[in-house]
Amino acid sequence: MRIIMIWLGLWLFISGCAGPAISASQPPLPPITPEPAYDFTLETLNGETINLKELRGQWVLLNFWATWCAPCVKEMPYLQQIADEGQMVVLGINFNESAADVAQFIDQHQITFPILLNPNDVILTVYQARSLPRTFVIAPDGTVVQQIIGEVNPEQFDAWRDQNVVELARN
């Protein structure tokens, strides 16, 4: 009987050390203090010029990324899905890679949203994107209203979009 009690006590101790169960749902994205977006003009991979100021009146998602960044690669299909839905203009800003490398990646991953080349990384510095991926959401009034450091979590971002982007579109 004593051995059973020892084993039972040991089992209870070990199971208590396992820590809390991890929730399947992600916590909501934290709010940030809105601030004006830095306006820029960059060339796309296709040679077009995009000026951020000209996109006022629309929701814009800026995503800083690189082909060698595994989380960047992983989130690309979700970013393409957002672009395809049409609620937001999605702009990918590449981290100082050759146009040939970026073009090969874009073709391979069937990315159709604009990819901006940032040859001297000025925009990366201005937006303080010190790590990749880094994503910013710019509201129609030209203010940065959300920032995501690291890979975009679809469940988390969809909840944020439903509460912010979709709600404002309905009003």
Three-class DSSP labels, 37-104: CCCCEEEECCCCEEEHHHHCCCEEEEEEECCCCHHHHHHHHHHHHHHHHCCEEEEEEEECCCHHHHHH
Total-model pTM:
0.81
Any domain includes 59: yes
Any domain includes 17: no
Neighbours of 101 (CB within 10 A): 13
Any domain includes 1: no
Any domain includes 18: no
State which residues form the domain around 123: 29-170
Any domain includes 112: yes
Any domain includes 82: yes
> Above 90 in pLDDT, residue 41?
yes
pLDDT digits (tens, 9 = 90+) for 142-160: 999 999 999 999 999 999 9
Q: How many domains does the chain have?
A: 1
pLDDT class for 166, splitting at 50, 70, 90? confident
Any domain includes 9: no
pLDDT of residue 5: 44
Any domain includes 22: no
CATH number where 57 lies: 3.40.30.10
pLDDT digits (tens, 9 = 90+) for 118-138: 878 889 889 999 899 999 999
pLDDT of residue 29: 84
Q: Report the chain's mean pLDDT, rounded to a whole number.
A: 85
Residue the block writes with tokens 């940032």: 118
pLDDT of residue 3: 60
